[in-house]
């Protein structure tokens, strides 16, 4: 399943935490028409680079699916950043 | 399980059951074991669960006292690695040759054209047993890096 939400947490020096929920599904919805419009160009570009365009699209879709549950945290004394894809 | 067999053989020797009944009983006792062992030998992965994530943990303890400790915790799904490997399999040959030349120039004798997607998939599978521990301590900081699968 493709990721729907990304959560970015920021912690400042005073231990105040700001949590930002990014609705990725809205981004996918916005990008979908663009992807459809650009697909002929991507297809031609793939053929030009001698890459099977269907394999390319399949792999990109797999990467998108696999992004779910990715977690990156950086903690420092003065600040902290956390990025979690749900 | 041997105890069950011994009991059945004991009953046979005492005449409580005949040979056919003993055979049926032994077969019934051994059936779950054989099915379990065949299932177990079918896939070695059942003994060890497949890893779901690749973890990179960096702990930096600042001995100088200015920067403070820093902790980095990265969790990457193994599926993402697999997809990345498949993406690498799509790289056209001219690009691989250029990458080979660049790596040879840096003294890394790896021929990327010889790496096939199926080998890379196997490589990702073998990451299950991977654990990298790096401890570095110098004048200013002590850094501990751990790479492992979970």
**Minimal C-alpha gap between B145 and chain A (Å):** 14
Which residue positions in chain A have pLDDT lower than 70?
Answer: none
**Which residue from B70, B74, B86 is facing A76, i.e. has the nearest CB?**
B70
Which tokens belong to B75? 């969790």
* Contact across the interface for A72 and B79, Cβ inside 8 Å: no
Quick check: A63 and B87 in contact, CB under 8 A? yes
* Contact across the interface for B83 and A63, Cβ inside 8 Å: yes
Quick check: A66 and A60 in contact, CB under 8 A? no
* Contact across the interface for B53 and A52, Cβ inside 8 Å: no
pLDDT per residue rounded down to tens, chain B (150 residues): 567 777 878 877 777 777 777 777 777 777 654 444 444 444 444 556 777 888 999 988 875 556 678 899 999 998 888 888 788 778 887 888 888 899 889 888 888 777 776 776 677 777 777 788 888 877 777 888 988 888
Neighbours of B77 (CB within 10 A): 20
Nearest residue to B4 (alpha-carbon basis) of B28, B20, B21: B28
């Amino acid at each position: 399943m493709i990721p729907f939400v990304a959560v970015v947490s920021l912690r400042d020096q005073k231990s105040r935490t700001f949590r930002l929920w990014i609705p990725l599904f809205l981004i996918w919805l916005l990008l979908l028409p663009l992807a459809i419009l650009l697909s002929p160009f991507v297809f031609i570009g793939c053929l030009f680079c001698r890459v099977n365009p269907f394999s390319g699209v399949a792999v990109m879709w797999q990467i998108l699916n696999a992004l779910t549950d990715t977690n990156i945290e950086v903690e420092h004394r003065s600040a902290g950043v956390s990025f979690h894809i749900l | 399980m041997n105890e069950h067999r011994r009991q059945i053989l004991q009953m046979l020797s005492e005449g409580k059951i005949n040979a056919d009944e003993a055979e049926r009983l032994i077969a019934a006792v051994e059936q779950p074991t054989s099915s379990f062992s065949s299932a177990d030998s079918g896939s070695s992965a059942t003994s060890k669960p497949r890893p779901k994530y690749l973890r990179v943990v960096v702990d930096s303890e600042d001995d100088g006292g200015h920067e403070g400790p820093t902790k980095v915790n990265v969790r990457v799904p193994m599926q993402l690695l697999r997809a990345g490997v498949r993406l690498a399999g799509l790289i056209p040959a001219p690009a691989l040759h250029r990458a080979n030349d660049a790596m040879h120039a840096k003294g890394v004798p790896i021929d990327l054209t010889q790496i096939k997607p199926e080998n890379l998939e196997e490589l990702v599978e073998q990451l299950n047993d991977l654990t990298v521990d790096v401890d570095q301590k110098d004048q200013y900081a002590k850094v501990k890096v751990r790479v492992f699968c979970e």
